[in-house]
């Protein structure tokens, strides 16, 4: 019985949100406010039960020695962050932000170099002629490699701004734009597919779980 009730609630909220496609209306506003409110409440509960309580409060209660007293630092930094709301003490929040930015930059730079830049550069060192299997198979792989290497080089030229894009540099950077446009097009096509998938999910819910037509 409870499942039937919640299916009807979900169907009503889905239709209320879809009604915005016709025009803004009170049903849409109602569904939108429920969504925002319930998301905020869910986040609050999760932050309490999975961040603050286990990490800070239980950590302070059950840990001993160094593991216990080190918690004073994040606790103080957290309070500093909240000082943003008290104007005379707002400057304290910068300490917390500085800590977060410094840590994120340290982690990010290492990760980007080790996990992205170096492996990606390595992956562009490809042979321009590959002899593997039949001639046509070899030709296919070789063309792929050539396009990849050429695309990487001309795209980098597009982002070279120390010289005006004229002559050879202009031609290379224009070729770079073509590769960038192809990449944007592929991303856009995928994004369209993603949005339509969400619509398909909701329509399936309405006709399968709610109306039992299919």
Partner 1 sequence: MKYIEKLAKIDRRIIYLILFLTVLLPYLFKISLPMKPLPEVVQAYREIDRLPAGSVVMISIDYDAASMPEVQPMLYAILRHCFSKDLKIIMLGHWPLGIPLGIAALEDVAKEYGKKYGEDYVFLGYRPGVAAVMINMGKEIRSVFREDYWGTPLDSLPMMRNVHTYDDIAILVGFEAGSTGDYWVQYAQARYNQKIILGGTAVVAPDWYPYLQSRQIVGLIGGLRGAADYENLVHHKALAYYGMTPQAAVHILIVIFIILGNIGYLALRRRK
Q: Which residues bind to partner 1, rule: CB under 8 A?
A: 21-22, 39, 42-43, 46, 50-51, 55, 107, 111-112, 114-116, 119-120, 122-123, 148, 183, 186-187, 190-194, 196-204, 207, 213-214
DSSP state, residue 19: G
User: Least distance in Å: CB of 125 to partner 1?
Assistant: 11
User: Which two three-digit tokens encode residue 187?
Assistant: 């991303």
User: Least distance in Å: CB of 25 to partner 1?
Assistant: 13
User: Which two three-digit tokens encode residue 49?
Assistant: 């039960």
With CA atoms as reference, report the closest residue to 96 among 111, 83, 86, 81: 81
Place of tokens 């932000």: 97
In this structure, are residues 80 and 96 in contact, taking their beta carbons and an 8 Å threshold? yes
Nearer Cβ to partner 1 (148/175): 148
Nearer Cβ to partner 1 (90/208): 208
User: Least distance in Å: CB of 91 to partner 1?
Assistant: 26
Nearer Cβ to partner 1 (138/169): 138
User: Which two three-digit tokens encode residue 16?
Assistant: 């209320």
Nearer Cβ to partner 1 (87/195): 195
User: Least distance in Å: CB of 171 to partner 1?
Assistant: 25
68 Cβ contact list (under 8 Å, min separation 6): 59, 60
With CA atoms as reference, report the closest residue to 77 among 92, 58, 56: 92
């Amino acid at each position: 019985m409870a499942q039937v009730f919640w299916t009807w609630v979900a169907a009503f909220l889905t239709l209320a949100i879809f009604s915005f496609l016709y025009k803004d209306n009170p049903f849409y506003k109602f569904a939108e406010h429920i969504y925002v409110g319930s998301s905020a409440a869910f986040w609050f509960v999760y932050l309490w039960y999975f961040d603050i309580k286990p990490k800070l409060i239980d950590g302070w209660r059950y840990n001993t020695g160094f593991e216990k007293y080190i918690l004073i630092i994040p606790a103080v930094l957290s309070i500093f962050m909240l000082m943003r709301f008290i104007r005379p003490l707002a400057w304290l929040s910068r300490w917390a932000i500085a800590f977060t930015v410094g840590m994120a930059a340290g982690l990010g730079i290492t990760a980007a170099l080790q996990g992205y830049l170096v492996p990606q550069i390595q992956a562009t060192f490809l042979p321009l002629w590959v002899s593997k299997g039949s001639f046509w198979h070899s030709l296919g792989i070789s063309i792929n490699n050539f396009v990849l290497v050429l695309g990487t080089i001309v795209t980098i030229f597009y982002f070279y701004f120390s010289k005006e894009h004229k002559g050879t540099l202009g031609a290379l950077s224009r070729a770079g734009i073509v590769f960038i446009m192809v990449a944007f097009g592929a991303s856009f096509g995928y994004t369209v597919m993603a949005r339509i998938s969400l619509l398909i999910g909701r329509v399936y819910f309405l006709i399968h779980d709610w109306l039992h037509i299919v």
